[in-house]
Structure 1
């Protein structure tokens, strides 16, 4: 369905509980680049202007229940979706593809089948729902993975319409009691799953893959410096801080080592994250290990305004925070790659050793 088309009776004509009120929104940037965490958070705030019942589906989708907002805005769900689409495009330069239905399953499927920037509505009518689902492949149903789809196709149940026409007992014999019952209901457009408002992500991760198996500890530390600096910038942009940091090292034989370190206090400060990353790396005692990739994960995130910060009387620490704020402003204006730590480029800008630790190894000496 295209925006602005007739969607049938308005809010006053149909009870709210009988109106399609679930919106599945997929966000896409105009140039096709990945949606940043900061932009995604702003788009969620845009949705919050219409309803508090929002389930974030990172990195670029969300589910919203707008049934409680229909009477307040005196619009149907398609009218609210049009407002969301126009504001996202005008304020953030992001195109929205929106599916609207009476439950999350149908709304998700409507959005998946819609063209970029389109608003598609599945009416709350048994015949319309059956027609919408009939010829879709069984794998289109949420929760039906490749193995379940192959099992259904082996019995000739290759479309949602055929799955819906099959006896429930047959589906339970093929897929198991619980899964068969759920698939039978979903093939008929039944999905009682509520929209559960979720909190911000509890972790954030970044990984660096080396061009070849890396033996040089200097290069590994430079990679960790870039990862920690990027994680800090992402958390500051989303207003979050981390309480712990996890390092994962993957070796040439595909084995991995993972270590976690609790931070002295909740922080998104780059130098603190870099110091913790260096300490984790040094504790592994890697000698001649051939490292294929390193990854950092900021764990146990919380909102920055809810975290206590230890006061510091060190002028250099305050100066570092002011510099970091200036760097964040430059990145917001000119792009994430506009400012990078000098030590990340190698050469004369080698990463310094840990504060309070004795230099050890070729990568731990100051230039």
Structure 2
């Protein structure tokens, strides 16, 4: 793929090695990257994209050099390492970061050479089902898909999907890096003193996490449109589930209910849980969110009490008011 002058390798993708004590660090890492470039997009749970086209001249470094600066700062400030991909567009940068060894930087020069021998499932937008279909036609690598006629791909996958695959296989990605607000997502986490099997203790931790996120969201006049729960187990594996909320909210009761539903859906009866992390995502200003009016007096009373509790926390500190379950 021919790259326009000035656009070669100007997108960074940083994938951080977020251990169990750093699961909520992504917003802080976004802020760190914004000291280099204002064009930063979070890729929860552990990565971000940085468009450095406006920063290379200011700092007198190329994109890989700026990536090294960010790696050193992440290690110095948070003790977090990362792998870095450098490419001309977000898709290639993400793929390079996935392919880079921890603590190293992989720069994509020739997109066709970088993509050619990789399995077709490594391409963005190609899932297991699509990959099986392509492999049944002998298109098991990205290079073979790139060499296939557009019409053939459209017959196999359909007009739109075939066209998108044809462009991606050529290394073309037209999506920009979309700058996030510093608090595009908010996260909180709890690590248990020992591997926890007790469902009630896990729910108590979820209650604490959702309450914390609710207070922080309301303090910043923001609401979230989705909630993500990450469960880390004793063997260091994780499960992540996201649920879209019925309406954008910062209401603690709604966040708690959603967190409980996600937790129940995982069926963790015998799982040894080491840590839980809850992340409020797709944040928007509260003034832009519509709230469905109801005649539920209990809901209105809960929101009134919540507002009073927030004022008490602002005056006396975050621990001044907490749910009775957590006061025990």
Q: TM-score, normalised by structure 1?
A: 0.60
- How many residues align? The count is 274
Partners of 2:307 and 2:118 lie apart in 1 by: 65
Counterpart for residue 33 of structure 2: 47
Q: Is the 8 A contact 2:13 2:90 kept in 1?
A: yes
Distance apart, 1:22 and its partner CA: 0.6
* Contact map agreement 2:188 2:213 (CA 8 A) in 1: no
The one of the two structures with greater contact order (alpha-carbon pairs below 8 A, sep at least 6) is 2
**Match status 1:20 vs 2:6:** no
2: distance between equivalents of 1:156 and 1:186? 18
Please give the residue correspondences for 1:180-219 in structure 2 after superposition, counting only pairs within 5 Å.
180-199=162-181, 200-201=183-184
Give the corresponding residue for 2:20. Answer: 33
> Are the counterparts in 1 of residues 75 and 81 from structure 2 also a CA contact under 8 Å?
yes
Offset at residue 323 of structure 1 (A) = 5.8
Structure 1 segments (4+ residues) deviating >6 Å:
202-206, 244-247, 258-263, 294-300
Which residue in 2 is equivalent to 1:71?
A: 57
The residue aligned with 1:97 is: 83
Counterpart in 2 of 1:166? Answer: 148
Contact 1:245 1:277 in 2 (8 A): no
SS in structure 2 opposite 1:169? helix
1-structure distance, mates of 2:279, 2:61: 43
Could you tell me the TM-score, scaled by structure 2's length?
A: 0.67
Question: Which residue in the other structure is 1:325 paired with?
Answer: 318
In structure 2, stretches of 5+ residues that fail to align are 190-195, 228-243, 267-277, 290-303
CA contact (8 A) 2:186 2:280 kept: yes
CA RMSD between the two structures: 4.6
Cα distance in 1, alignment partners of residues 135 and 209 from structure 2: 46
Return the match for 2:42 from 45, 56, 60.
56
Partner-residue secondary structure (3-state), 2:41 = strand
Larger Rg: 1
Verify the 8 A CA contact 1:35 1:59 in the aligned structure 2: no
**Is residue 136 from structure 1 mapped to residue 118 from structure 2 by the alignment?**
yes
C-alpha distance in structure 2 between counterparts of 1:313 and 1:181, whole Å: 51
